[in-house]
Structures are given as structure tokens and as C-alpha cells.
Chain A
Amino acid sequence: MTLLKTHKNHWDVIVVGGGHAGIEAALASARLGVKTLLLTLHLDLIGQMSCNPSVGGIGKGHIVREIDAMGGAMGLLADQSALQLRILNTRKGAAVQAIRAQCDRHRYRTLARQLLDGHNSLFLRQGEVISLERQGDFLSALHLSDGSRLTFSTLVLTSGTFLNGHLHIGLSSTSGGRGGERASLSLSEFLREKCGLSLGRLKTGTPPRLKGRTIDFSRMEPQQGDTPTPFFSQLAPLPPSLFFDGPPLPCHLTHTTEQTRDVIQKNLDRSPLYSGKIHGIGPRYCPSIEDKVVKFPDHLTHHVFIEPEGLGIDEYYPNGISTSLPVDVQELILSSIPGLEKSMILRPGYAVEYDFVFPDQLRHTLSVKSLPNLFLAGQINGTTGYEEAAGQGLVAGINAARFSQGQPPWTPDRQSSYIGVMVDDLVTHSIDEPYRMFTSRAENRLYIRNDNAVDRLSPQASALGLLSEPQRSYMNSRFDFQNALRNTLHSSRRGGKSLYHLLRSPELSLRQLLQEERIDISSVPSLWIDSLEQEIKYEGYVRISLERWNRMENLPIPPSLFDQPIPGLSNEIRTRLRKSRPATLHEALSLRGMTPGAIDLLRIFLTKEPASPS
């Protein structure tokens, strides 16, 4: 065994897939000092943004900040390739604000590759997995189509939409994982047949990409980035500016018309979605333009955002008209949209159908329950979005590395991170449509804010060994500063009340107070001030909401409950409960197949009847 482990072709962790999940998984594993291989179908396409060239947004932007606070890559890559950044929900309260970045797709890939190249314990390899070896409950080796055999201690699969992927344009379809790339056919069969996993099918889609010089931007409303520019990354001294000189690049807003609707309605029979060719379930929250027209026939127009794909590259992404209609219909759709009448298609839009693994077969570590050294992350678990994928990659990478070293697992907590909410949702709920992060999914929303990801997660990351020395010292200086300021606010008084106390009022801002108290903060990153201010302002509300949570949902379920008959629960639900033995009412709530009635019974049972001592 020792001989094997030192062998050149043995790896502590192999990550299959070079998308956003694969990048974070491989980097997390390598940062923990574990010998890691990232295996991808195409080395030049690591970090590809296969959908729109944008990172962040509500819920998703929170995840990016959390990845960054854990020492991950996505925040840095997005900052350094950003064409514009802005804060969303600025008027809805600090808890629900998040950053959205428009990125240079090409630069993002290059930076991702450079970041991976820079790690001593991380190696890259191009190749296609054609089979895996299984020994008992463990996977042990994989075979590439070039004839190589690689052995590993743990395997992380982040194969995205490539599992049995099928591309649809109009009524013609081809096997493939993304526009122009081939699919991974045999892996899905292996997971189903050899690993006994239950797989489902989902679909997603993209719009056609357009040539910029054929777009009339003068007929659209420009959407500028914010100045001063907000950035995701907090564990590095902030980049002073965007990577290029000059103003941030704008996006542009236009809209579909009644003519668009008519074109689509007339050609629905040529849509693979509505002619029955596509069986996979698409995301309700990211519908194709044909979906929007069918489901909301009364809406005469829909937004279309024209997003730049890169600096100096004349390609644009019309966000809002993802479609799998044939190319001639795509052209008719474009010609019905103000400003796009004369636009030329660079690449047509398409829909992709792919296999995913029902994620309730995973643990909170993202390892497969029945195969402890196999980890799954990203779209293979039924999620959509780069950020969701990256967040899972981080969790899977950390745990794969720790598993290979015989260390106990680490799992993110639902109460203190969006990543925790996501993982918990996935493994306890499972899914029946692609999973996207919403801020509405987070019960502890007032605490898990965009401004305090470092407070919530960096100490844990540091303890795990995920942070580099500069990241750790940057974290420490932030904490030192905030502790000192917190003490000052507690000890300084005004009108008999501490400044800390006064700051709870919504009318008083910390900056204003510091100015009045003549405390100089000009050299301090503004987020350090903001996060302390929000911490103080939200403290009371966070406590109330946590108390409510504990009272309403976090009711512990005594294990003895599963061994006694619970009056009124159907046998099916009783069996489910016995099988998964949820620790709290919330966990029981999220079990697949739990009916509202059953939850009511449980809640009444748990609150009204004292648990029998046992």
C-alpha cells in the first residue's frame, strides 16, 4: 500500500471536471497539502462560463463571498476578470444585498488556469474517464480513454452537464455536454449500474450569442456598474481597480415584443421542449423564452439584458431569451427585438439535457452514502449556477482531502452559511427541479449576510488549514481592528448610553459617529466598518429570529421517538423517519415525502407531549 501511494500514478484526491466545482474542489484539496489531480476533458476550457458571463447576484453572491472567506478562488477570479460590478438590493436592507459581476469570460479561464498551475501539490491532466474500478464499498482506480490507469484514495466527480449530455437545437439533437464539446457517456451508466445510484434527468439552455457590431445599442437602456467598484474578495488587499483602464463596461437592457410572442407561438411545434423531445425538467426560475411565452401569454414584453462577453471581444450574450428553437426561428426572434433587428448570430442557442444524481444519496460532506470515498459536487447533484457548483466543490474538496488523510469530516452549518443551507437542502430534501440558491431559502437570513462572511467562516477555514499565511494575517488584522473598535464603542458613552447601544438605532450611522468622535478610519477597508455596523444593527433581530427558529423548527426529536409508534403517521412516513432518523423537526420537515399533515402531527407531538425519559 505504501509503495502504491508513492507511485506516480496514485493520487490522494482525483477531481474529475474542470468547471467551477472542480476548480474549488481541487484547490481546497491542494491547499490542505494533499496530492491532488484535476482531470478534465479539455485543459484550455478550465473555468469555462458556459452560460452567461456573470458571477454573483442575490443568494449566489453570498456564496461567492463565503467561498472567498474560506480561501477559495471564485471571488478572486471574478474580481480580477470583472468588466463591471454592482450591488443589488441596495434599498432592501443589508441582509439581502449581494454583488453581481459581469466578467470577461476569456480572462476568467486564463486566471483560473494560472491559479491552479501555481499550487505545488496540484496537477492537471487532460483525459476522458471511460471506466472505474470498484472494490467493495470503495472506488480505487479509473481508466482513461488513452489507456492510462490512475489510482486514488478519494474521487470527486464534478462532471457538470456532461453526464449523458444531449444538445438540442430545434428538432435535431446531438450528444454533447456544452456547445462544441462532447459528453461523457459511460460515467452515468457506471453510477447507475455499478454504484446503484438513482439518477434523474434535467435540462437547461442558453440563448444565441451575438456579434456586437451588428447590435444597435443606442436603442437600449445602458446599465452601468457601481462606482466606487465593490469587490467580492475580502481576504486579500482589495484590487485597487478593474483590470483595465477606463470606465466599467455597461450592460444594456432591451425587451421582447408582441411580434416575438407571435413568432414563438407560431413555431412552438418546432421546439424540442413543446414537441415532447426533451423530457428533462428545466428550472422554473431560468425559463426559456418559449416557456415564458407559453406560461405568461398576457405579458407582452420580457426583459433582455445584453451582456458583454469580454474586453476587446465582439461577442454578446442576450440574457433572457434562452431557447432551443431552430436557428431560423432564433433569427426571427432576434429581428423582433428593438436593437437586435440586424444582429448576427455567432453561435446558436441550444438546450442541454443531462443526467444528475438525486442528492439525497449523499451525506452532508457530499460523499455518496454507499461509497464513502466518492464525492459529488456541482450540476451532477442537480444544481444550476457557477456559484452553487463552486460552493459544493469547496465542501467536497475539503472532505475528500480530509477523508484521504483519515481526518474527521467538516460540514457547513445551515445556520451560519448559504453553503450550509444549500448542502442541507440538497441532501435532506433532494430535488425535483434544478436547484438554485435563493435568499428566501435561508431561515437565518438576517445573520448570514454578505458583509460578514469572513466573521462567519474564516476562523473555521483557518482552523482547517485552508488559508494561506497572507490570508490569515489579513483576517487577523480585520478581527483586531473590529475588536478594538467594538471595545471603544462599548466603553465610550454619550448621554449615559454607550456608543454601541446608540448605534442600534437605524438613524445613526457608524461612519457619522466615528467622525463626530474624531476616530480616523481613512486607512481601513470600508467593509470592515460596514460589517461591524451591520453586526450591531442586526444583533437584536438575529437573536429574536434564532429564538423563533429554535422554538418553531429546531425542536430536537428524541431518538426514542423512532422506536415507538407515532399515532397517526402513515407507515410510509414512519419508515422514512426510521430510516433517516432526523435530529430536529427541521430535518424531518425536509425529508422527501413528508406531508404537511405528518409534520403537523410531529410538531404537536414534540411540543405538547413531554419526551419520555429514556
Chain B
Amino acid sequence: MEPIVAPVTALVPQPVGILRLSGDNLWPKISPLFPGHPCPSPRKATLLSPTLNGLPLDTVLLLFFPSPHSLTGEDVIEIHCHGNPQNIRFLLSLIELQGIRPAKPGEFSLRSYKNGKLSLLKAESLHRMISAPTYSEFLSAHTSFSQPNRHPLYALKEQFVDLLSSFYAFLDYPEDLDSDRDSHPHHILLSQIHSLQTFSRHQISLFKKNQRAFSSFSILLAGPPNSGKSSLFNRILQSDRALVSPFPGTTRDLLEGRLSLPFGDLLILDSAGFRSSDDIIEGMGIAKARKTISQVDLLLWVNSPESPTTLPFHTKTKTLTIWNKADLSPPPPSSSPDFIVSARTRKGLRSLLSTLTSLTKNFYSNQQSTDPLLDSERQAKALSSFLKSLNLAEQALNSGTFDLALSSLEHGRHLLEDGIGLISTEEIYDRVFSRFCLGK
């Protein structure tokens, strides 16, 4: 496929930055950056200098993984350069000038999947692994990633293949399995269906419980315009430089910053991304503000001497009030803010940070399970529709129509396959003959 490139480390000053490239016949395309140099040996670190008009630009380590033994199955090249953001940007632009386009989000994984290097389930476990806010969740995702048979959908599939094989055995061997002529062990089939239903419901409810708008402990900064929310946002994030990685808000029109604390990540959202209206919570309509506030774990309501206001509606979300710009003016005696700070002079920040830290710690203290879970909304959807076909099969069996029950289950097989990939018919027959002694 056409070659792509992306930085895989953040554009912040750090010792090493890594660029990754993937595509067919990759080396000839970037070799103009390394004039006169032969194609590096596969899987060996090679020290090189990209040059422009004879001028060496940086000293980099280059790793070449020829197809098909690579992350994506195509040729992959990794360039480890010095991690100065300007340097990385310039190298990127040079590479793009060779006709290699920037990768779209998730494009490397997509290629791995399409080239059979990564199953859909694994790709989703990988995604959950990378974005896990705590180590226990990282471990949970890694368990699914490294041992696919421990993924809940695999456990489900195993039980389901058992169920289908029971149906097939009872269907095609009435004489072998029915001691009492033509009665079939209804209760065996029903109990297998019930156990699958229970398992599915449990997994779906676990997923729903864990499913939140923000996967980490999340804090929203809100308040009247010009109360200094953004300065506060920056101050909180910059409190620990090495661990900060600010990135633009995704779809939520919010600025997001992540603070990685030892027991779990803290996500800080700044509603000051909007500056277009005089609305009481800048730019966000009341409805949207209500919604965002209900999705976060903590609301920091920021006031300042210019135009102090109170939150115009009631919320169930835990709220802390902050008097910012305390260096300009102290809070009026009528108000009793939880924190009095100055983002400019850093007054009161230490006390605010230590409270945020302990709230984060409390939040994660009861989430220590490393059991594998469903990884994505897609998996949960597949499981829900699978559950519906189980329910139909249960109904059909209860009203005595075995053939219709089986038909529902076979449909369920396809729905489950949407979640986990193909279940081979051979696998089902193998199960039929290994579980039942059939035939005369």
C-alpha cells in the first residue's frame, strides 16, 4: 500500500523522538535522505545521518523491518532521532517531500489488521492497553492482548460452540442420544443457554459500568469568562513537567490535559476552548454544559474578582469552588470558596494539587481488578445482539420448536462472529464428536 509516516512520540522536548514509516518498497523511497547509503540490514540498528544538500541534519538510528515480518506486514522503518520537536517536524517534512503521506489516526493498526498481523480483538485490546488510565486496567487489556483465549468473548465462544454442538448432536442423532424415544434433553440445552445468557449479561453490565465518557478520573474547569481557567489548567499540568502531555481536545470541543499519577491518570478538561459568546459558561450552551458536568468526576468552579458568579444550576457532580486571582483581590466575605489561589503567583496551588491528587487516589483505590473485559463499544454491541438471539432460542425451545431455536442460534453465531471473527464449522463438528459418542 502507499507509504505513510507518523511520529510515534509526542512533539515535546525529550531525548529521543521516533518516526515510523510503513508501505511497500519503502527504502528506495526514503533513500534520497541518506545519499549513497545501501539498504540497512533487516532488524539491525544502523547509525545514519539524513542530509540535505550535503548538509548532515541529525544523527539517527534506523531500524528496517522488511515485509512480511513487521508490525504492519509491509516494509516498516523506524527512525530514532533526537527528540527536539522542531527537528522531528523538519525530518517529517523531508520524508513527506519524498511522497510519503502522513498516516491517519489508527492507520498502522488498520494495516496490521488487514494484513493478518493483528486480529480485530487484539487490535481493540491494544487500543485499550495504550489508553488505560491505571496499571490494573493496562494489565487487564494486556491479558486479552497476549492471551486471546482469556478474552471474555473467547470464553463465550467456547461455551457457545459447546451449545451448538449439543444441538447438532441431538438433531442428527436422535436414536443415539434419546433413551426415551424422541424426547430430547430440553433441560440440558436450556441450562447451557441460560449459562450463556448469564455470562453475556454479566459482561455487558461490566462494560456498561466501566463505560464512561472519560476513561480516567476527570476534572472539568468551568466558570465565568476571564476567571483564569486556562492559566489554572496550564499550572496544574505543568506541576510535573516530565509527565505532562497536553493534546488538543478530540470531539468534545474541550482542551484535555492528562496528568499521569502513580496510581492512575488524571484528566483535566478546560471548557475555555470556547470564546465565542457571552454565555455564562463560555460558549457552551447550558444544556451542553449540564451534560459535560454530569460526565466528569469533579467540577472545579473558578471565580475571580472581575465578575463572580455561582453555578446557575444544580449538579450531582462533586464540586469544588476556587477563588482565582487572589493576588488582585481576596474573596468577598459572603462567599466561602474551597480554595483561594493565584495562577499567576502560584499562591494556594500546592494545597489544591494535593487535594486533587488524593481525590484521584481515592477514585482508583477500588478499581484494581485485572480481569480481562470487553474492549470496545463494538464488542459490546455484538454481544448484545448475540444475547438477543439467545433469548429467541430460549423462547423457541420453551415452546417446543427445537428447529426454530437452532435457527436462532445459528444466526447468533454470525452475530458473535461480527465480534470475534469466524467460527469454523469444522470446529463445531470436532466438538460434536469429541463430546458425544455418536454413531452405530
Residues on A facing B (Cβ under 8 Å): 52, 57-59, 88-96, 223, 283-287, 292, 295-296, 299, 302-303, 305, 319-320, 322, 438-440, 443, 445-446, 506, 541, 545, 548, 552, 567-570, 596-601, 603
Contact of A567 among B1, B175, B403 (CB under 8 A): B1
Q: Confirm or deny: B437 has a beta carbon within 8 angstroms of a beta carbon on chain A.
A: yes
Q: List 23 A-B contacts (CB under 8 A).
A: A58-B174, A88-B182, A89-B174, A89-B402, A91-B402, A92-B171, A92-B174, A93-B400, A93-B402, A96-B402, A223-B181, A284-B429, A285-B438, A287-B437, A287-B438, A287-B439, A305-B175, A438-B172, A440-B171, A599-B422, A600-B120, A600-B421, A600-B422
In the assembly, what is the distance between CA of A443 and CA of B284, in Å? 54
Contacts of A57 in B (CB 8 A): 175
Q: Is the CB of B439 within 8 A of A285?
A: yes
In the assembly, what is the distance between CA of A302 and CA of B423, in Å? 31
Contacts of B167 in A (CB 8 A): 440
CB within 8 Å: A-B pair count: 117
Contact of A541 among B407, B424, B433 (CB under 8 A): B407
Q: Is the CB of B440 within 8 A of A89?
A: no
Contact of A506 with B399 at beta-carbon distance under 8 Å, contacts A545-B407, A600-B421, A600-B422 already known: yes
Contacts of A93 in B (CB 8 A): 400-404
In the assembly, what is the distance between CA of A69 and CA of B365, in Å? 71
Q: Is the CB of B407 within 8 A of A58?
A: no
In the assembly, what is the distance between CA of A439 and CA of B434, in Å? 19
Contacts of B401 in A (CB 8 A): 93, 506
Q: Please name the residue on chain B nearest to A87 by beta carbon.
A: B182
Instruction: Report B295 CB to chain A, min CB distance, Å.
Output: 31
Q: Is the CB of B116 within 8 A of A597?
A: yes
Interface residues of B in 390-415 (CB under 8 A from A): 399-404, 406-407, 410-411, 414
Q: Is the CB of B184 within 8 A of A292?
A: no
Contacts of A569 in B (CB 8 A): 116
Contact of B171 among A96, A322, A552 (CB under 8 A): A96
Instruction: Report A425 CB to chain B, min CB distance, Å.
Output: 10
Q: Confirm or deny: B183 has a beta carbon within 8 angstroms of a beta carbon on chain A.
A: yes
Q: Confirm or deny: B377 has a beta carbon within 8 angstroms of a beta carbon on chain A.
A: no
Q: Is the CB of A92 within 8 A of B402?
A: yes
Contact of A303 with B407 at beta-carbon distance under 8 Å, contacts A319-B440, A506-B401, A596-B424 already known: no
Q: Is the CB of B171 within 8 A of A295?
A: no
Instruction: Report B170 CB to chain A, min CB distance, Å.
Output: 8
In the assembly, what is the distance between CA of A91 and CA of B421, in Å? 34
- The interface centre, meaning the residue of A91, A303, A601 with most chain B CB atoms within 10 A of its CB, is A91
Instruction: Report B267 CB to chain A, min CB distance, Å.
Output: 32
In the assembly, what is the distance between CA of A599 and CA of B425, in Å? 13
Instruction: Report B114 CB to chain A, min CB distance, Å.
Output: 4
Contacts of A92 in B (CB 8 A): 170-171, 174, 182, 184, 402-403
In the assembly, what is the distance between CA of A454 and CA of B403, in Å? 21
Q: Confirm or deny: B223 has a beta carbon within 8 angstroms of a beta carbon on chain A.
A: no
Contacts of A541 in B (CB 8 A): 404, 407
Q: Confirm or deny: B176 has a beta carbon within 8 angstroms of a beta carbon on chain A.
A: yes
In the assembly, what is the distance between CA of A223 and CA of B182, in Å? 12
Q: Is the CB of A568 within 8 A of B174?
A: no
Instruction: Report A577 CB to chain B, min CB distance, Å.
Output: 15
- The interface centre, meaning the residue of A58, A223, A322 with most chain B CB atoms within 10 A of its CB, is A58
Contact of B172 among A58, A292, A506 (CB under 8 A): A58
Contacts of B170 in A (CB 8 A): 92
Q: Please name the residue on chain B nearest to A443 by beta carbon.
A: B410
Interface residue tally on B, bucketed by range: 35 or more
Contacts of B424 in A (CB 8 A): 596
Q: Is the CB of B404 within 8 A of A567?
A: no
Q: Confirm or deny: B168 has a beta carbon within 8 angstroms of a beta carbon on chain A.
A: yes
Contacts of A598 in B (CB 8 A): 116
Interface residues of B in 160-201 (CB under 8 A from A): 167-168, 170-176, 181-184
In the assembly, what is the distance between CA of A445 and CA of B410, in Å? 11
Q: Is the CB of B182 within 8 A of A548?
A: no
- Extra A-B contacts (12), CB below 8 Å, given A285-B438, A320-B440, A601-B116: A92-B182, A93-B400, A93-B402, A438-B171, A506-B399, A506-B401, A545-B411, A548-B411, A568-B114, A596-B422, A597-B116, A597-B119
In the assembly, what is the distance between CA of A464 and CA of B85, in Å? 78
Q: Please name the residue on chain A nearest to B117 by beta carbon.
A: A568
Contact of A302 with B404 at beta-carbon distance under 8 Å, contacts A506-B399, A596-B422 already known: no
Q: Is the CB of A597 within 8 A of B421?
A: yes
Contact of A283 among B113, B406, B422, B439 (CB under 8 A): B439
Q: Is the CB of A601 within 8 A of B407?
A: no
Contacts of B174 in A (CB 8 A): 58, 88-89, 92
In the assembly, what is the distance between CA of A59 and CA of B1, in Å? 48
Q: Is the CB of A302 within 8 A of B437?
A: yes
Q: Confirm or deny: B309 has a beta carbon within 8 angstroms of a beta carbon on chain A.
A: no
Instruction: Report B430 CB to chain A, min CB distance, Å.
Output: 9
Task: Please list the 10 inter-chain residue pairs (A to B) with the smallest Cβ-Cβ separation, ordered nearest first.
Answer: A93-B403, A92-B402, A596-B422, A95-B403, A440-B168, A284-B433, A286-B439, A285-B439, A319-B440, A296-B437
- The interface centre, meaning the residue of B167, B403, B437, B438 with most chain A CB atoms within 10 A of its CB, is B403
Q: Is the CB of A446 within 8 A of B184?
A: no
Contact of A295 among B1, B181, B421, B437 (CB under 8 A): B437
Instruction: Report B116 CB to chain A, min CB distance, Å.
Output: 5
Q: Is the CB of A90 within 8 A of B411?
A: no
Contacts of A446 in B (CB 8 A): 403-404, 407
Q: Confirm or deny: B115 has a beta carbon within 8 angstroms of a beta carbon on chain A.
A: yes
Q: Is the CB of A548 within 8 A of B402?
A: no
Contact of A445 with B437 at beta-carbon distance under 8 Å, contacts A91-B182, A568-B114 already known: no
Q: Please name the residue on chain A nearest to B435 by beta carbon.
A: A296
Q: Confirm or deny: B224 has a beta carbon within 8 angstroms of a beta carbon on chain A.
A: no
Q: Confirm or deny: B372 has a beta carbon within 8 angstroms of a beta carbon on chain A.
A: no
Q: Confirm or deny: B73 has a beta carbon within 8 angstroms of a beta carbon on chain A.
A: yes
Q: Please name the residue on chain A nearest to B422 by beta carbon.
A: A596
Instruction: Report B193 CB to chain A, min CB distance, Å.
Output: 16
Q: Please name the residue on chain A nearest to B74 by beta carbon.
A: A567
Contact of B440 among A52, A59, A445, A600 (CB under 8 A): A52
Contact of B403 among A88, A295, A445 (CB under 8 A): A445
Instruction: Report A280 CB to chain B, min CB distance, Å.
Output: 17
Instruction: Report A588 CB to chain B, min CB distance, Å.
Output: 12
Instruction: Report A564 CB to chain B, min CB distance, Å.
Output: 12
Contacts of B411 in A (CB 8 A): 545, 548
Contacts of B168 in A (CB 8 A): 438, 440
In the assembly, what is the distance between CA of A567 and CA of B114, in Å? 6
Instruction: Report A389 CB to chain B, min CB distance, Å.
Output: 18
Contacts of B429 in A (CB 8 A): 284
In the assembly, what is the distance between CA of A464 and CA of B399, in Å? 42
Q: Is the CB of B172 within 8 A of A91?
A: no
Q: Is the CB of B115 within 8 A of A567?
A: yes
Q: Please name the residue on chain A nearest to B410 by beta carbon.
A: A443
Q: Please name the residue on chain A nearest to B436 by beta carbon.
A: A296
Q: Is the CB of A91 within 8 A of B183?
A: yes
